Amino acid sequence: MTPFGQALRELRDRKGVTQRDLAHAIGVSPAYLSALEHGKRGRPSFDLLQRIAGYFNIIWDEADDLFMTAEASHPRVVLDTSGLPAGYTALANRMARQIRSLSPDMVQAIDELLDKARHQA
């Protein structure tokens, strides 16, 4: 599941809307919406995001959060390490090989480490 898929499912649950009802209201198939929630599809288009926000009549701040979550939810990430030292490429490849074996605690620890590095830069 992607962060967007999780956010959309939580939004639907909070509003009491089924996948089928939302899918029909925004003009997509229930199968597509299910695939989107489960991370089997890439980021939704801006148009689809607007239809979702409009359907739920969410305030601008919540819509903005949903849009940013969608931006960070592509399930197939490509890292371009061209021009960087060899260690960067090795790390990117190692992450690609091992990401599925990481525990949720380890993912959180790595995320916190990256946040710390961003704030120090």
99 and 53 inside one domain = no
Residue 31 forms part of a structural domain? yes
Report whether 19 contacts 30 (CB < 8 A). Answer: yes
Examine the pLDDT at 75 and tell me if it is beyond 80.
no
Residue 82 Rama label (left phi>0; alpha psi -120 to 50; beta): beta
97 and 39 inside one domain = no
Residue 108 forms part of a structural domain? yes
Residue 81 forms part of a structural domain? no
Residue among 50, 54, 47, 48 nearest 36 (CA): 48
Q: Which domain holds residue 90?
A: 86-120
Locate the DSSP E strands across the chain. none
Q: What is the CATH number of the domain that holds 30?
A: 1.10.260.40
Residue 41 forms part of a structural domain? yes
Residue 91 forms part of a structural domain? yes
**Which pLDDT does position 112 carry in this prediction?**
94
Report the domain count for the chain. 2
**Which pLDDT does position 22 carry in this prediction?**
96
- pLDDT tens string 48-72: 999 999 999 988 888 899 899 988 8
51 and 12 inside one domain = yes
Residue 7 forms part of a structural domain? yes
Report whether 1 contacts 38 (CB < 8 A). Answer: yes
108 and 60 inside one domain = no
Residue 77 forms part of a structural domain? no
**Which pLDDT does position 24 carry in this prediction?**
96
Predicted TM-score (pTM) of the model is: 0.69
Examine the pLDDT at 121 and tell me if it is beyond 80.
no
- pLDDT tens string 34-49: 999 998 887 889 999 9
